Amino acid sequence: MLAEKQRLSFVEIEAQAALELPDRITPALVTIGCAGVCVGQIRLRVQDVNVAAQVCADILDINVLLGQDVFTCTVSQR
């Protein structure tokens, strides 16, 4: 047999406390690769994915200034 659920009164609802959860922070890993003059990778861990995207945009702008694809940049969340 199913138990019937009772409705909460307005007073009971108002008596309950609700806390807001903080924004979830997922660090982003920016990996900058270099070919040609230097060979290797630079890895940066940043807290904001928007900052990571801006770093990659700046790295890719350097490629435009150099006129060749020397650097690569990827953003991944871990």
Note the pLDDT tens digit of each residue in 45-71: 888 888 888 999 998 898 898 888 888
Q: Secondary structure of the chain in the HEC alphabet?
A: CCCCCCCCCHHHHHHCCCCCCCCCCCCEEEEEEECCCCCEEEEEEECCHHHHHHHHHHHHHHHHHHCCCCEEEEEEEC
Flag whether 34 is in a domain. Answer: yes
Flag whether 31 is in a domain. Answer: yes
The structural domain count of the chain equals 1
Note the pLDDT tens digit of each residue in 12-52: 888 887 777 666 667 888 888 887 667 788 888 888 888 88
Domain of 63, in residue numbers:
25-77
Tell me the whole-structure pTM to 2 decimals: 0.57
Flag whether 19 is in a domain. Answer: no
